[in-house]
Structure 1
Amino acid sequence: MRVSTQLLAWSLTLPVICSVSAQQAVSFHGSVVDSTDAVIPGATIQILDASDKIVAETHSDSAGHFVFRSLPSGRYDLSVPAYNTFAALRTHLRLDATVDAFKITLAAESITQDVQVVAEEPLSVDPAANTDTVKVTGEQLRKAPIFDQDPIATMSAFLDDASGSSGGVTIIVDGVQVKNLNVSASAIQEIHINNDPYSLEYQRPGRGRIEVLTKPGSAQFHGELNFTFRDAVFNAKNHFAVVKPPESRRIYEGHLSGPVGHGRKTNFILSMSRQEQDTAAIVNAIGPHGVINENVSTPNRRLTASGGITHDFSENSRLNIRYATRLNTNQNFGVGGLVLPEAGYNRANREDDLYLTHRWIVTPNLVNQFQMMIEKDEDNNVSTTMAPSVVVSGAFTGGGAQSDQHLTENTFHLNDVVAWSHGRHYITGAIQLPQVSRRAVDDHTNRLGTLQYASLSTLASNKPYVYTVQRGLGRTVYWMNEFGAYIQDQVRLTPKLQLTAGLRYDRQSFLGDNNNFAPRFSVAYAPGNGRTILRTGSGVFYDFTGGDFPATVRLHDGVNLRQVQVQNPNFPLPSGPVLDALPTNIAQFAPHVRSPYSFQYSAGVERRVGKKGRFSAEYRGLTQIKSFRSVDINAPVLPPNAQIGMDFPRPDSSYGRIQSVESSGRAMLNSLDLGFRGEIGQYFSGQAQYVFARLMNNSGGISMYPQDQYHPNLEWGRGDMDRRHKFDMIGRLLPDRWYSLGVAATLYSGLPYTEITGNDDFHTGLGNARPSGVARNTLQAAATISFDVLYSHDFRIGRHSKDNEKFLSAGLSAFNVFNYSNYQKYVGTLTSSAFGQPTSALPGRQLQLSLGYRF
């Protein structure tokens, strides 16, 4: 091991800076790397006094950086215990006002090891060291069963749906929010969930976002190439498939990194993933002549490629530029369950991203990091059948999909962060433009009309309860802009007590409010010998509309796109001038709409279990105020005992439905979270999470309507994602043995769903009426149970040094090993013969073969 005074200046995240306080307290920072200068995250760094007592302890972050703040000046020992495959290190250290940054280089552990009994490492009060963080490294992902080489889908199981946003899962790649993961699986260095849940850096809470850190370039050539294969011949039949469909999946992915030129100031990394999936959807519907059950081919092709180059202009200045592209095509998309083959559509989308990151160490205690991304997206949907749509509640959806649409988006992202360390304080602040986006939409959906029927009997008698059709240009161009800023201070009040507090501001165009200030704080205290940490915190988190919903308001203004709705239509259906004379539906934001916000609060305890295990127990509450929902403010006012099939006038006869997007809903979550991370003896290494929760709300999202438009608060009930019990686990059984297994488990209680009559009882054309006295989401789906395993082995090729090892690897994964039937999409329509029954199921047992080469 060697300790140098050269600053490691090529991480993609902020370093933590040293400073000297007026009371002779000394702070210093550094980096932990291996012999190839590759960063080592998660290493423990300790400061020991003359009696070998631990004075301070911290861990290297995802970029290999560490920091110690406000230590008394004097002589110490710096110790790094053995970590993964790296040997322990110990060296003398003198702290004074002139102490420099450290670069700690860990050597590979020798084959011959000495067994030592050492004191247990204390837990850290750092806000990013919370034990209930779900954290996996690239090496752990490689040894875990990952379905379709999709780590985002695998890790999303550890998220909390109540903490998400209207736009879905928030994915952060190297500090920048993105729509999709745009690097290959092998190029991932780490994935974090719930890392510092009250961080001011992000708009969403910790359990509402996935943070991905990609591998940096390296001073030596390293690479990996993997091939994954699945075929239906090795799989169990889907529960609803009469005949097992022919399916096959082939995934090619890998990455390559190394130096550029003969110097050590420039390096590169390339990654690629190609997926060829010839899959099938299972249609399980009820038609006029009985059950419809068939397999429908749904092939998918996806290519993801990225390349980046990093250059160190000096020890204080580093620039990284990366380009990524993602192309995806799907055929017969949307088919399956109650949706017949002719109601599918083909879609193609492409995303191109250009990233620029510059980190500048202005002074030893002041750092600036500038990030910019330019993004271009294009999505195109084309229906497979040109015909009117026919929807029979609880039976089938047929005819044409009428989903023809073309969307383009050109977006600019910016994030500029300043970090300053002074004495006991570590202050960060930033100005963020999450998106400045110009979007164009060409909407040609529902041009041939949609007929909706309450049941098969009304279909037989040709009596739909509503007919809708759209006419008009259907094109709009608009800007979607977001702005954010924050300031945060981490204060180490004592070595065992740390306070983090700050204020964040967020704003989105289309929403008129400007007072979206979000204060947050958290406290961590380590009583006794450091085996236990007590944490508490609370904060405000704002939400935005998400997705492309503002386009709905721009299009459905009554001029650009006219959507005509006819209640209880007669045949022949209206067309031409007759249709143009009918009142149009419109969509609008309510006059006082604002950004919804959530108030989250929590208190928990973390405890070391053994030497390498950590257990956490936390109560977490979340109250969402001003939730989005839609209300038809022009709904008919019904007299008592209104009969089905009758027509009732709307208050404003010049319009049909007036969709008013309001921020008037609310939600409440109460949750007990139990977590474990680490090792259990020699039997298990990984992490597990159990959540006991209850989610109540009166809104299912921005596009949800209540059944009674004049009493929307009567929708209060179980939330759509209210799971009472949720258990997830990922790790390895019998680790570090030739017969060890990668394992993943999912055990969920069922989600609720709503019982509806199938009729248009409120004469709005929505068809979402429930029986009298029945609340929303009173029915219960079955549980979801899955257990996945991976057996893999690495074969060393030839004799090489530790820095230049080569391996061939082979693995066999089994997903849903016990072939449990996990049912999905239950029918809640009383008029359907399938009432209370599922219409689809997740795949049964599937086997996946993987081969790899890395050097």
Structure 2
Amino acid sequence: MHGTPLGREQRAGLLLPVSRRGTIACLAVLASAATTYAQDANRTLTGMVVDPLGRGVGGVMVAVACEGAVARTVTADNGTFTVDTKGTSACDVIARGDGFEPLRLRVDPAAPVLLHLELARLESRVDVIAPPPERGPTFLQLRDDAVTAFGGDLDSLMNYAVRRAGATASGSSVLVDGLPATLLPPANSIESLTIDEDPFSPRYGGPPLARVEIVTRPPQRGWRLALNAAPLAAGGANPMGGGDRRTRGFQGYAYGPLPPARTSFSASIAVSRDRFAQPFRAVGRDGPINGTVEDRADTVRYSAGLHWGDATQRASVVVSALNASRGSAIPDALTTPDAAAALSIRQRDVRMTHEARTPRVLHRTAARGQITETSRAGDGGAPAIDVVGAFRGGASVDARATERIAVWNAAHVSQATSGRWLAGVSAEGGTFDGRTVSNPFGLFRFSSVGDMLAMSRAATWLRSPPTRRASGRTWSCAAFVQTDLYRTPARHVASGVRVDYQPDAGWTASPRITAQNRWRTWRVHGGAGTFTSAWTADLLAAGRRYAGANAQTIVLDPPLTIATYEDDRVQKSLVTSALDAALRRRRDLIIVAGLERHIGEISIAAAHTWTRGRSLYGWRRLPAPDGWLDRLESNRRRDRHELHIRAGSRWRAQSFTAHYSYVSSYDDTDGPSSFAARYDDLVAEHGRSSDVPAHHVTVVADLVPTRSVRLSILAEWRSRPPFDVITGLDPDRNGLFLDRNGAQRNRGAGPGYRSVDAYGYVPVPLDRIIKRSLTLDVALRAENLLGARNFTTLNGVLGSPLFGQPLGALPGRSVRVSISVRR
């Protein structure tokens, strides 16, 4: 919405409404108003109120405040108004009309004024939350200026939000307008970003792990344009070796009206090019191998949408796409360039939303479909060689692999406008189709460099069929309801239940309850509930993904040739895979209790969360009559305790937030793709959860040196997480090489993390320079200012000469400046 004060030089029609008839009417009215103004310049303010099409709007309440005196009037049928004022200085004009956004404008009473109203925006969204929700220490909501203060850089916005909330990005899930999303909207189209609001709502199926909810802007009739470029970047070198990263990017966003009433469009494009050196550090046949390979990552994102809305309902259809490629993907420093693979990803996403408001109920409906195609291409012209913990080279394990995943989601939620109840239904499903062309020479795996050099010890040769296929299909649905059991201004108890159904899994009910009590400056809150995670198509397809793979234990004679596999001493064993007949969906019980206190502008909060996870997934390689059977099971478990403390304060426009969390988490699986080291001893698998640090600290300071300049300082520290240490041997001759010699899982300590970042933002209005309503945004992003060496993982193979050395690292100190122009 915007207003336009008209001076003498503008009466000829420099500012024209959209409608030609409306323009003529406005000019006539303003000409008449100018005559009236000439008669009494100091006592009368005249003007006209128009809608987005330039038509006069009658019945609008107009209030004019001049030098402490307030005068009110109502516009005539043609939108004109006249107000007597008692001052000659600048006045504030406020216009309010049914179905339109309120407008407040500073004007000069010495000139007629033309007020443009915009249609009322619906503050509702598909992801409904019954207020007041259960909000823990990690709750955060960013809106308006806090969202736009990153110059259109979505990555910077997400990093800032997660750190300020004290959450962890690794376990976060993202929802856009109430539905899961992997392809995110452009930053300029985001109205609000919320983290961990009402985590016990029955709208959600899986456990609440740093849930990020993004709400896009409602339909608007005004124009919005933004062009963003990041031509200045320095630093970002890998601490393990290699030069600086070279990053270039461009983003464009447009939003504007279309001829049909209440209809608008949106379009965006983002292009990025990243060039960097990927180091490798291995031990091969001829000794240490060190070097770097030049790699590249190119990404193109684009979207287009149609939007329609009025005061009672709105609808949107948005189509998005992503094309990404990687020239030489190396998983870690042990992989040499000859075993790398080129990677490409294509995503297509269609999202539809609709919401309608009645006096008592708000209805929201959303649907989404997405197709992701992934392709990997490597060199399959030679045998692939893997020395556990020391070397991966020779060629790629697979010559070519493609995966196609199609998912869809739909949801409808109805919420009482009083916020006392909500109910809805949802459904989701997907298909998975994978095809792999194997390296015809297979993979030779050795326990040590000595085995590879001697060429006379046992080795494992893994050879798959020429082509492997795996497919899966599934769907699920749910119904949920939530209502207030007791509600007063100080106390609130709400309860809900969610019922999930999935073929071959049946029905499951998940009850939830939350409560809070306020007393003076204190707030006590808590919640409890169970969560059920639906099977995915790729999980079900995994039972057939490895079908037909051969694991052969052979004795090698020099030289290493492909003919070796025909030797009479080859002992063949077939590896097949299947799903456990008793496979169940994952279930989590979560109980939270917290205490919070506000003292003026200072707030302190603490909460304890206990999570009891059952039916977690994991693989076991079991003996079979003709070799081995890989079976996906759901008999794993997790117990987790987390204490989270938050402290925050505000002083004028400055704010300070600090988070500390202590986590004690134990489980016996690393996820649905992990294998147990011994098929007959799951007890030994129970240990500290992988990659979960015990201590996590974040500190965020938001500074506003001037009214428009924003500066955020972010500091984060994580303790050393546990990771697994193995011997590199294969006593069971099953090809897994996961032996720990009887030791407990995850007994090692991985690399910690520490970083200090700074985000700056300066908007520069250009209207005084080029006489146009444009703003130049300059955004600064400086990461790892102290130059800390943050490694991602360490070598955990005891028999390797590289044991304990880093295998990967995050970029070093880097500075990026982006410049954007918006209207």
Question: After alignment, is 546-555 or 320-329 more displaced?
Answer: 546-555
Contact 1:487 1:502 in 2 (8 A): yes
Structure 1 residues 789 and 300: CA distance shift in structure 2, 3 A? same
Asked whether the equivalents of residues 144 and 731 of structure 1 are also in contact (C-alpha less than 8 Å), the reply is no
Q: Distance in 1 between matches of 2:268 and 2:153?
A: 19
Q: CA deviation at 1:409?
A: 3.2
Paired with 1:195 and 1:36, the residues of 2 have a C-alpha distance of 36
Q: Determine the structure 1 residue equivalent to 2:355.
A: 359
- Among candidates 596, 604, 609, match of residue 606 of structure 1: 596
- Superposed, 1:772-791 pairs within 5 Å as 772=742, 774-791=743-760
- Equivalent in the alignment of 2:443: 450
Instruction: Please report how far the alpha carbon of residue 604 of structure 1 lies from its aligned counterpart in structure 2 after TM superposition.
Output: 0.7
Matches within 5 A, 1:13-28: none
Q: Deviations over 1:590-646 (max 9, x none)?
A: 1111011111111112222434x5432111111101211111221xxxxxxxxxxxx
Of residues 813-822 and 545-554 in structure 1, the stretch that sits farther from structure 2 once superposed is 545-554
Q: Deviations over 1:666-703 (max 9, x none)?
A: 111111112245x5325843644321111111111112
Give the residue type in structure 1 aligned to 2:515.
V
2:332 is aligned with 1:303: no
Aligned to 1:618: 607
Task: Say what the alpha-carbon RMSD is for the aligned residues.
Answer: 3.5
In structure 1, the partner of 2:476 is: 482
Give the TM-score of the pair, scaled to structure 2.
Answer: 0.79
The 1:161/1:827 distance shift into structure 2, 3 A limit, reads: farther
Residues in 2 aligned to 1:749 and 1:722: alpha-carbon distance in whole angstroms: 9
Q: Which residue of 2 aligns with 1:72?
A: none
| Separation in structure 2 between the aligned mates of residue 259 and residue 686 of structure 1, nearest angstrom | 40
Do structure 1's residue 378 and structure 2's residue 348 form an aligned pair? no
Q: 1:375 to 1:461 in 2, by over 3 A?
A: same
What's the CA shift for 1:349? Answer: 1.6
Q: One-letter code of the match for 1:563?
A: A
Give the 3-state SS of the residue equivalent to 2:767 in structure 1.
Answer: coil
Code of the aligned partner of 2:745? R
Correspondence for 1:133: 139
Is 1:766–2:736 an aligned residue pair?
yes
Q: 1:216 to 1:359 in 2, by over 3 A?
A: closer
Helix, strand or coil for the counterpart of 2:465?
A: strand
Structure 2 counterpart SS, 1:633? strand
Q: Write the distance in 2 (CA, Å) between the matches of 1:236 and 1:555.
A: 38
Match of 2:766 among 784, 791, 797: 797
For 2:555 and 2:645, the matched residues in 1 are separated by 55
- Give yes or no for contact 2:303–2:321 (8 Å, CA) kept in 1: yes
Classify 1:391/1:139 alpha carbon distance in 2 versus 1 (closer, same or farther; 3 Å).
farther
How far apart in 1 are the matches of 2:734 and 2:153?
43
The change in CA–CA distance for 1:237 and 1:415 in structure 2 (over 3 A counts) is: closer
What residue number does 1:389 align with? 384
Deviation at residue 782 of structure 1 after TM alignment:
3.2
- C-alpha distance in 1 between matches for 2:395 and 2:683: 36
State the structure with more CA Rg: 2
Give the aligned partner of residue 426 of structure 1. 420
State the secondary structure of the residue aligned to 1:714. Answer: helix
The one of 615, 620, 633 equivalent to 1:662 is 633
Corresponding letter in the other structure for 2:812: G
Partner residue in 1 for 2:194: 192
Q: Match of 1:67?
A: none
1:178 aligns with 2:181: yes
Unaligned runs of 5+ in 2: 3-49, 53-91, 109-129
Q: Is the 8 A contact 1:707 1:762 kept in 2?
A: no
Contact 1:343–1:398, Cα closer than 8 Å, also in 2: yes
For 1:632, give the aligned amino acid. Answer: R
Residue of 678, 682, 685 corresponding to 2:655: 685
Q: 1:202 aligns with which of 197, 201, 204?
A: 204
The alignment status of 1:258 with 2:250, answered yes or no, reads: no
| Shift in Å, 1:816 | 0.3
Structure 1 residue 800, shift from structure 2 partner: 11
**Could you tell me the percent identity over the aligned residues?**
20
Partners in 2 of 1:746 and 1:223 — Cα distance? 35
Structure 1's 504 and 108: CA in aligned 2 closer, same or farther, altered over 3 A? farther
Partner of residue 550, structure 2 = 564
User: How many corresponding residue pairs?
Assistant: 710
Give the equivalent residue in structure 1 for 2:86.
Answer: none
Distance apart, 1:393 and its partner CA: 1.6
Secondary structure of the equivalent of 1:747?
Answer: strand
| Contact 2:237–2:812 (8 Å) recurs in 1 | yes
Q: Which residue of 2 is the match for residue 813 of structure 1?
A: 781
Q: How does 1:39-188 map to 2 (within 5 A)?
A: 105=102, 107=104, 126-127=132-133, 130=136, 132-137=138-143, 139-143=145-149, 149=155, 151-152=157-158, 155=161, 169-181=172-184, 183-188=185-190
In structure 2, distance between residues paired with 1:271 and 1:354: 15
Look up the equivalent residue of 1:258 and give its one-letter code. G
Q: Which of residues 310, 325, 328 is equivalent to 2:321?
A: 325
CA deviations over 1:519-554 (Å, ceiling 9, x no partner): 1111121123xx332110011112245572322223
CA deviation string 1:272-331 (max 9, x = no partner): 21111122212122233333222212211111111222223x644432111111111111
Task: Please say which of residues 656-665 and 287-296 is displaced more in the overlay.
Answer: 287-296
Tell me the amino acid that sits aligned with residue 589 of structure 1: L
What is aligned with 2:625?
A: 653
Q: Distance in 2 between matches of 1:268 and 1:128?
A: 36
Local SS of the residue matching 1:351: strand
Question: Could you tell me how far apart the structure 2 residues matched to 1:237 and 1:163 are?
Answer: 22
Q: Given that residues 367 and 419 in structure 1 are in contact (C-alpha distance below 8 angstroms), is that contact kept between their aligned partners in structure 2?
A: yes
2:276 alignment partner, one of 279, 287, 292: 279
The reply on whether 1:728 has 2:698 as its aligned counterpart is yes
| Aligned-partner Cα distance in 2 for 1:326–1:491 | 46
1:506/1:138 CA distance change after superposition, 3 Å: farther
2:151, 2:679 → 1: CA distance?
A: 47
